[in-house]
Amino acid sequence: MKEKFELANQDRMKDLQVEVDKILEALKCDGALVTDESEVGDFIDIFAETEEIEANLKYLSNYLGVFVEDDMELIVDIAQKIKDKKCLVKK
């Protein structure tokens, strides 16, 4: 029996492409496949020590200008924070 590969939804991700690209740039993962279910931890070394993960999250927060809570936070949720922040600044 063949295993079927099914890609997770990308509906939210498509609306946030500019912000997702900025996140991928910060993660040094330009061009990576991102879905609505992709987490920050999917793009961080899985063998990293807790201190290194925390340092990466702090770097991301500073680079992106929004708080990145943990490595399980969804990329699209962070992208939405960035977009919301842009909207607040424009008003």
CA distances to 22, 61, 88 from 57, rounded to whole Å, are 15, 6, 23
Express each pLDDT in 9-42 by its tens digit.
Answer: 889 988 999 999 999 999 999 889 999 999 999 9
pTM score, two decimals? 0.86
Express each pLDDT in 54-71 by its tens digit.
Answer: 999 999 999 999 999 999
Name the β-bridge partners of 74. 39
Domain-wise residue ranges, the chain: 11-31+38-90
Q: What is the pLDDT of residue 1?
A: 73
